[in-house]
Chain A
Amino acid sequence: MKRFWLFMPLVVAVVLGAVLFAGIGKDPTKLDSALVGKPVPAFNLKDLNNPENSLNESLFQGEVTLLNVWGTWCPSCRDEHADLMWLAREKKVAIIGLNYKDSRDDALVWLDRLGDPYRKVIYDPKGTLGFDMGVYGAPETFVIDASGVVRYRHVGVVNGEVWEQILLPVINDAREKG
């Protein structure tokens, strides 16, 4: 019995070590979306490129899409733009843009200059859809399956590595099951 108690500090240290080790390398600023497994919230917003045209959640029906939240005020969005262009050019996946808390004129100039990787861009100047989707900082990219259900949310820049290691597996999974 006494022997057993001698080993207690070792046991405590190992358990504590395991618990703390599990936390190493986790980025606490990246939160899982509360919307995963739920449909895209209902919305009714204007098309950025075509102000007379309204868009709603039916936009996400029929095919796996990426929803990319961006704004011209967001430096990291500028960073990832080339990679989004590449995804669009290679026809890897359909990308829907959500222009978040921005002005239409600035956004159109941006797309004109840098290219437009988006199939459609939802214009959300007040950030209402962004708020309903729990967007807390652009850029954010959601994977949405063919029935309009959110599968994944990536916070931060999309680049080749993020695409290969994170987004593509989720998309393939959604395509298989959809």
Chain B
Amino acid sequence: MLRIICFLMAVLVSGLSYGDVAAVYDFDSRSEEERYQNLIAELRCPKCQNQNIADSNSPISKDMRNAVYQMMLDGASDDEIVDSLVERFGEFVKYKPDLDSRTFMLWATPAIAVLGGIFVVAGVVVRSRRAGTAAPALSPEEQARIDKMLAKRN
């Protein structure tokens, strides 16, 4: 019995917290709703900085979701919606910043790291190959000395 009560409580509580974030917005079609979900998932909350506005229940996120919804109703494109929020809150609200001179290093660092790694590995491989082939063979005198030593031991 206790288990059932606990379970019911858990279901109720989780429903409450979920309902807090997912305000009721009506969409004409399934694809519009998906578009809305994608938009709010890639916009970042300026107040609670490591959450997107879909996850956050801060008042500013609520306002931003509402603004996204209103702009969608007015027929704005995705870019227009994101741009209008960037105009107000800054580039910060985009999880995927545009590629420009300020963000160039941000985008380029992974490529630089991968290329650098490839160069290092290639360098090591090439060098060890070269070292392998270039190992000087023993001169006849050296070979004779080794043979002598081995013979002594036997």
Contact = CB atoms under 8 A, between A and B. Distances in A.
Interface stretch (B19-27, B71-79, B83-91, B133-141): B83-91
Given A33-B90, A34-B90, A134 B59 contact: no
B60 A137 contact: yes
Contacts of A31: 46, 89-90, 92
A36 to B, nearest CB: 9
B63 A134 contact: no
Given A101-B59, A127-B63, A136-B60, A34 B86 contact: yes
Given A31-B92, A101-B59, A131-B63, A137 B87 contact: no
Contacts of B88: 34-35, 131-134
Interface string A31-45: 111110000000000
Residue among B60, B67, B88 with the highest chain A CB neighbour number at 10 A: B88
A34 B87 contact: yes
Interface residues of B, number: 14
B67 to A, nearest CB: 7
A29 interface: yes
Contacts of B49: 28-29
A87 B21 CA distance: 40
Contacts of A127: 59, 63
Dominant SS among interface residues on chain B: helix
Contacts of B67: 131
B47 interface: yes
A131 B59 CA distance: 11
Nearest to B123: A5
B119 to A, nearest CB: 12
Nearest to A135: B60
Nearest to B46: A136
Contacts of B91: 34
B152 to A, nearest CB: 39
Contacts of A34: 86-91
Contacts of B89: 31, 34, 134, 136
Given A127-B63, A134-B90, 20 more contacts: A31-B46, A31-B90, A32-B90, A33-B90, A34-B87, A34-B88, A34-B89, A127-B59, A131-B63, A131-B67, A131-B88, A133-B88, A134-B88, A134-B89, A135-B60, A136-B46, A136-B47, A136-B89, A137-B47, A137-B60
Interface of B: 46-47, 49, 59-60, 63, 67, 86-92
Interface of A: 28-29, 31-35, 101, 127, 131-137
19 contacts: A28-B49, A31-B89, A32-B90, A33-B90, A34-B87, A34-B88, A34-B89, A34-B90, A34-B91, A35-B88, A131-B67, A132-B88, A133-B88, A134-B46, A135-B60, A136-B46, A136-B60, A136-B89, A137-B47
